[in-house]
Structures are given as structure tokens and as C-alpha cells.
Amino acid sequence: MTKQDIRDSIQRFDDHHIERHEHILDFNINNKIDLLFIGDSITRRWLEVPHLWESYFSKYNSANLGVGMDTIQNLKWRILNGELDNIQPKVVVLLIGTNNLPDYSPEEITQGIEGILDIFKEKIPNSKIILMGILPRDADDACSDYISIVNEINKKLSIVSRERNLIFLDIGKEYIMENNKVNRALMEDGLHLIEPGYKIWGDTIIPLINECFQ
């Protein structure tokens, strides 16, 4: 299979993607959104710890636009097809890119994320953007050292954030143990956060969000 260009917009046709996209479009029509989280399954799984989401973010009319297994290209398709229409959130938290790690270089992934940011600038120009560094993950059959690649990408994203006057938040070190593997007490499968991992994310980001709303 030919590798898709990181700049492409790619629609998915699986039930999960279709259902989440339709739910998001409906939610956006019927709710005021001031705080928006957008990304892949790591964002979506905030829905599995609703008590934490409620305690951290509900006071800001928050919305979760995470979709499991989304790549940068899949997210690009979603935001070009209605998910940012008719909303003007004050703060947007973006975390995307882990599903591109097996197939794309750090330069390509950075370029793809910049493409998402370009769309943000066009569709939600007044929103404050908190760009999350990609989180670490353990090795698998596709890659023996994701952590080094993630560190390289995040250095590039830090520069992008400064150039674009965004807020950059890299919390990856919170999830890595001394042996340079992720802490399975926080990321049970070596990739996805579980409740203690979300608590770290929430505790770290909420002061930034509070400041943005002042």
C-alpha cells in the first residue's frame, strides 16, 4: 500500500469514525463550547473517566472531539467537514500524531500538525491553542524506540509553538520510568492513559486553561 501524504485529508468509513463524527456535529449544533479538546483515542478516552473530566473542565462548557485511531490526516478530514463550523471556542487543546509514528518521519509529522494548525487559524482564529507534545509509548513490532522519535517531534513542535504564539505543553516525562519505558501504572498498554495518567494531564493543564480564561 502506498503511504498517504501527511498533508492529505483522509476520510474513514468504519462505524466508530462515522458515529463519532455525527455525534460531534450534533453536539456542536446544540451546545455552547468554550473549551475544546480534539485528537485521537488518547483524547477520546477522557470519556472513560467522566468524573475527572467533570471536575477539571465542565465549568468551561467543554467538548471532547477525540476519535479513536485517528491519524493527522483523519483529523484533518473531520475539521474540514464540519467539526469546527459554527463554533468559536476560547481555548482548544490539540493532541494528535501518535498513530502516524509507525509510518512517518518526525519532519513529516510536524508538517502534518502544522497543517492542522493552519486550519485552526482559518476556522477559529480567535481561539487560544494549547498544543500538546505527543505522549511517549512503548516499543512494538513497528518501532523499537518511539520515545526518541517522540522527543525529536516535540522539540520541533516547541519551535512551531513559539513561532505561532501558541502554548506548548509537553508532559511526556511524567509517564516515563528510569528504564526509558512508559509507566504501565499510568499507561496500562504502553500507549493509552488510564485514570492516574489522566489525573496527571488534568492537574498539569488546568492552570494553563484557567489562565487562558482570565
User: Would the pTM count as exceeding 0.95?
Assistant: yes
Strand pairing of 167-169 and 35-39? unpaired
Chain centroid to CA 125: 18
Express the helix, strand and coil content of the chain in percent, nearest 5 each: 50, 15, 35
From CA 115, how far away is CA 168, in angstroms rounded? 16
2: pLDDT strictly greater than 80: no
Mean per-residue pLDDT of the chain: 97
From CA 189, how far away is CA 162, in angstroms rounded? 33
Supply the DSSP string of 151-193, one letter for each residue: HHHHHHHHHHHHHHT-EEE--GGGGB-TTSSB-TTTSTTSSS-
Q: Are 129 and 90 in contact (CB under 8 A)?
A: no
From CA 149, how far away is CA 133, in angstroms rounded? 12
Entry field: residues in the chain = 214
Helix/strand/coil for 28: helix
For residue range 156-197, what is the model confidence (pLDDT) as tens digits? 999 999 999 999 999 999 999 999 999 999 999 999 999 999
Q: Are 78 and 108 in contact (CB under 8 A)?
A: no
Place of cell 501558541: 166
User: What confidence category does residue 153 fall into, taking pLDDT thresholds of 50, 70 and 90?
Assistant: very high
User: What confidence category does residue 145 fall into, taking pLDDT thresholds of 50, 70 and 90?
Assistant: very high
User: What confidence category does residue 1 fall into, taking pLDDT thresholds of 50, 70 and 90?
Assistant: low
Nearest to 89 by CA among 201, 209, 175: 209
